[in-house]
Amino acid sequence: MNRIRASVLSVLSVSLLLLIASPAWAQTQSTTGNILGTILDPDGGVLPGATITVTSESTGRVRTAVASANGTYRVPLLPPGLYSVRADLQGFRSVERNAIPVSLGSAMQVDISMDLASVQEVLIVTGQSPVVETSKTQVSTTISETAIDSLPILGRNFTDFTLLTPGTLIEGSRNTIAISGQRGINTSVNVDGSSDNSAFFGYQRGGTDSPFTISQESVQEFQVITSGIMPEFGRSGGGLVNVVTKSGTNQWRGGGHFFLRDEGFTGTDPFDREQTEFSAKQFGGSVGGPLARNETFAFFSADAQVFGIPYFVDYDLDAAQTSALEAYVTQFRPAWDINQTRFTRTNDTVVLFGKLDHSINDDNQVSLRVNFSDHETIGGGTDTNLQGSTTLSNSSLGAQKEKTISTVLQVTSVLGERAFNEFRVQYAIDDLDRLSNDLEGPDTDIRNPFVQFGRRFFMPIFVDEKKFQVQNNFSYLFDNHDIKAGFDFETDKTSEFFAGFAAGEFRFDSLDEFMLNEPSFMLQRFGGFDPNDLSPNFDVRQTVAAVYLQDSWRVNDHLTVNYGVRWEGTFNPTPIGNPDRPVTQQIPDDLNNFQPRFGFAYSPDPRTVLRSSVGVFYSRTPTILFFNPFTSAGVAGVGIFFIGGFGGELDGLWPNLFPSLPDGISATQEIYWFDPSYQEARTIRINAGVEREIVDNLSLGVSYVHARADGLQSLFDSNLVDLGLDADGRRLYGGPIEAGVEWRIEKNSARSRYNALIFEFKKRFSDGWGMFGSYTLAKDEDNDSNERSATGDQPTDIFNLDADFGSSDRDIRHRFVMSAFTDLPAGFKIAGTFTARSGQPYNGILTSDVNGDNETNDRPAINGSIIARNSFEQPSFSNVDLRLTKQFATGAGQFQFFAEVFNALNSENLYTTRTQYDSSRFGDLNTFIGNVRQLQLGFRWAY
């Protein structure tokens, strides 16, 4: 009821704003930008009726407009690139402004002053983009094609450039892009205006293991929007990464590239281990041009990587322990490779891209693009880390193969002088196979020290996603308003084979207990699948729909106001469930997600802007969370779990499994369902800031960002008897309310709070150099950082979730990023990036189950109170990457040779995975993040 009341009030608030608005312009657009301005006479008065001609300098496409009664004009829906703007009016000298840069989502202010005509001539002026966008209400960073081509990047994944923007990081648990304190699954990624998110996993299509699924070669530019997102964009509770790809032009252009790293160019890691057999080769190219000048254009690119890196298995066992362990395991599983050794992990990919643009006539353009990726990694398949140490033996690893293909068709239409329309349709496929080195099992975990071998409980997996999306955006220009309305319809079909725990999972509290075959826990799944049949056992469809209405109002020359509202609805599948438990036979739809948004930009002078925004945003629930309700309802034919290990009943069982569901010994089965009141997660985001150009080409800015998310997914067992709190304040449980069952309920009961103060600087490239950077001071708190909780990361107190409220897994208190590039004599260029941040928090947990909830998630008590969640901190992180370029221009084209050094200062960036508080090795730094120091040589040819 509170959420409905809040939504109604929000809609009324927006309606009131619409009613009081008198007769912004700077609308954020998914694939284009705008040119706008005012036509003035010699005395500064407005000139209505002037004809404005906007011409693309790369494709020759022409758009026209007529200055309104107040002298203003607007030309929206312009693809990023350089444009010329010409103003003509009888009795006045024509004026032409050239080289006007339009970037993604920008609103270029091009005011033109016209003198009385004394002779028939045209005044030509070279344009330049403003350092401060005075009509932009959002907090965003645009990464241009120049920056993408100039700055050093370890690999060819353009999304790595998002880490150069404030408030972004790679979320450790999923290896996904997290923005402004939100879970990575809540970051929306759009490519050419269409969703590039996986409906199943929530993150970007193509997964987190692939080095890239869209080639850097095909990306023209992209922007990262952290706050102030307009209603046109949805499913963006964690921010938006918006990408536009390249197109062909009126000149045939192309080229190729090759980059090389190998063990001879690579230093030892922080543990003095040589990176032998390390090799990385990246190569590809592109070509684009006119099929019919000014009318039809084509662009193609290809990019590939062949990659191998040493990977080290480290159990933290001495020689005697290792020998005894290997001898013991060999008796039962002689084929298992459990050696503490080094092996090579591969990570190869091929990406192909093609795009065709055609002008049907002056008012209608159509674009068709196809992107294909084919990725394979061997020696991993369960671990996204590509270097350092692992406690997973080679028997626990495997291979991952993933193919994606996406096709987007877009039609852009000019419907008279004031109306415009964009129609877009997408069809995409994502096919993922995770294969296991071991098919026999069982999954075996020793908790102190960590040793893991055997088939992982979630292997193998076969997932096939199919996405169909239709969007339409209609714009109408009034004198001072840009009204925009549209809809977005998306349906995603997911098919999966997953037989989790079919090979069983055993846990042992120590190495000694393992050698005595005394497991503390055992989980096995029965029914619902045929182990000899790998066809899907989970096949669902989720549909989301949205409509929006927004206005960008140019109040006067100093003030722009953006406002609007978006509605989203989610239609979820219905599981068969358990007839004896009706609650298992539903996953609620969510149809009341109204999202009002408001922002303004006030510019007292052309060098200064004050901007602020507030808005409501909803995030989509990944369909991977639906699997368990479909397959674990306590019905043997659908899928049933056996959980045991209490009281020694399983002693001596490992590595065998039960041939059928056992009885006669203590057992607990899991039954999953969604809370009947479950709804999508909601984030309220607020920003306020000021930006000023303090000297020519250099701006400084400061802003505050607040994000409060409620209704985040949290999965836990609620079938526990409350025994109250002990003397330390720890919640104790006395076994289940209903014997033999775990009620695993998916609730939207978690919450997060993010506050950040951001300082930014930007030096436009001029006088041979440019730079941009930021410092972020932030606090990120929540009571659950993981939407799946598949590894026992459930709340310690199910009756008071805020007992776990504290630093989130993403909490980075201090973060500084700077990028710079400059021209040197003799055709040399140098560029670099520097990143420094404080360490991420981690949780200190006990190896045993203290509170009786059958999970090893308990934190220790110190001085009579339970320590806060995530109260320990990893070491700080720093990194410097440098690129030196030598450029030659010849009749055969332009040649560039690169020498790049990654982690140039050889920062160790140590890290610990030893989080058992009662272990003697707690907090020992046993691995590292980032990269060892590497030299990369590269070559690029362009014509």
pLDDT tens-digit readout, 750-807: 999 999 999 999 998 888 888 999 999 999 999 999 887 555 567 899 999 999 999 9
Compute the distance between CA of residue 14 and CA of residue 182 in angstroms, rounded to an integer.
Answer: 25
Compute the distance between CA of residue 408 and CA of residue 387 in angstroms, rounded to an integer.
Answer: 36
Judge whether 529 and 535 are in contact, CB under 8 Å.
Answer: no
Q: Say whether pLDDT at 940 is over 50.
A: yes
The tens digit of pLDDT for each residue in 25-75 reads: 344 567 888 898 899 988 888 889 899 999 999 999 999 899 888 888 989
Distant-in-sequence, close-in-space partners of 728: CB < 8 Å, separation ≥ 6: 861, 864, 865, 866
Q: Is 827 helix (H, G, I), strand (E, B) or coil?
A: helix
Structure tokens at 193: 């205006």
Q: Say whether pLDDT at 289 is over 90.
A: yes
Distant-in-sequence, close-in-space partners of 145: CB < 8 Å, separation ≥ 6: 219, 220, 221
Compute the distance between CA of residue 733 and CA of residue 714 in angstroms, rounded to an integer.
Answer: 19
pLDDT at 283: 95
Kindly report the number of other CB atoms within 10 A of residue 268's CB atom: 12
pLDDT at 4: 42
Q: Say whether pLDDT at 933 is over 50.
A: yes
Q: Is 629 helix (H, G, I), strand (E, B) or coil?
A: helix
pLDDT at 816: 97
Distant-in-sequence, close-in-space partners of 850: CB < 8 Å, separation ≥ 6: 730, 858
Higher pLDDT, 818 or 46: 818
The phi and psi torsions of 341 (rounded to 5 degrees) equal -150, -175
When the pLDDT of each residue in the chain is averaged and rounded to a whole number, the result is: 88
Q: How confident is the model at residue 12 (pLDDT cuts 50, 70, 90)?
A: very low
Q: How far is CA 44 from CA 37, 114, 115, 122, 825, in A?
A: 14, 9, 10, 20, 44
- In the chain, the N- to C-terminal Cα span, in Å, equals 63
Q: Say whether pLDDT at 7 is over 50.
A: no
Amino acid at 817: V
The tens digit of pLDDT for each residue in 164-177 reads: 889 898 887 777 88
pLDDT at 789: 58
Using CB atoms within 10 A of its CB, is residue 121 exposed (0-12), middle (13-18) or buried (19+)?
Answer: exposed
The tens digit of pLDDT for each residue in 560-581 reads: 999 999 999 999 999 988 898 9
Compute the distance between CA of residue 219 and CA of residue 520 in angstroms, rounded to an integer.
Answer: 52
pLDDT at 350: 96
Compute the distance between CA of residue 564 and CA of residue 560 in angstroms, rounded to an integer.
Answer: 14
Lowest mean pLDDT among 383-387, 404-408, 837-841: 383-387
pLDDT at 510: 87
Compute the distance between CA of residue 572 and CA of residue 927 in angstroms, rounded to an integer.
Answer: 41
pLDDT at 3: 47
Per-residue b or e along 21-52, where b marks 16 or more CB atoms closer than 10 Å to that residue's CB: eeebbbbbbbbbbbbbbbbbeeeeeebeebbb
pLDDT at 450: 81
Q: Say whether pLDDT at 358 is over 80.
A: yes
**What integer is the mean pLDDT of 716-734?**
93
pLDDT at 10: 41
Q: Say whether pLDDT at 17 is over 60.
A: no
The tens digit of pLDDT for each residue in 455-486 reads: 888 888 999 999 999 999 999 998 889 999 99
Vertex 812, ends 807 and 814: CA angle to 5°? 130
pLDDT at 9: 38
Q: Say whether pLDDT at 222 is over 50.
A: yes
Q: Is 548 helix (H, G, I), strand (E, B) or coil?
A: strand
Q: Say whether pLDDT at 434 is over 70.
A: yes
**What integer is the mean pLDDT of 235-251?**
92
Q: How far is CA 140 from CA 28, 168, 248, 478, 694, in A?
A: 11, 11, 27, 27, 20
User: Residue 836 gets which letter from DSSP?
Assistant: E
Judge whether 588 and 679 are in contact, CB under 8 Å.
Answer: yes
Judge whether 288 and 354 are in contact, CB under 8 Å.
Answer: no
pLDDT at 825: 92
pLDDT at 905: 95
**H or E stretch covering 238:** none
Amino acid at 773: G
pLDDT above 70 covers what percent of the chain? Answer: 94
The DSSP result for 529-581, as a single string, is S-TT--S-SEEEEEEEEEEEEEEEEE-SSSEEEEEEEEEEEEE------BTTB
Q: Say whether pLDDT at 290 is over 70.
A: yes
Outline where DSSP puts E strands in 133-218. Answer: 139-143, 168-171, 176-179, 188-191, 194-195
**What integer is the mean pLDDT of 508-534?**
85
The residue count for the chain: 943
The tens digit of pLDDT for each residue in 610-644 reads: 999 999 999 999 999 998 888 888 887 777 888 88
Outline where DSSP puts E strands in 736-789. Answer: 741-766, 769-782
Q: How confident is the model at residue 125 (pLDDT cuts 50, 70, 90)?
A: low
Handedness of CA 373, 378, 379, 381 (dihedral sign): positive
Amino acid at 917: Y
Q: How confident is the model at residue 5 (pLDDT cuts 50, 70, 90)?
A: very low
Per-residue b or e along 293-311, where b marks 16 or more CB atoms closer than 10 Å to that residue's CB: eebebbbbbbbbbebbbbb
Structure tokens at 848: 């045993």
pLDDT at 1: 40
Kindly report the pTM of this predicted structure: 0.88
Kindly report the number of other CB atoms within 10 A of residue 15's CB atom: 12
pLDDT at 173: 72
Compute the distance between CA of residue 476 and CA of residue 420 in angstroms, rounded to an integer.
Answer: 6
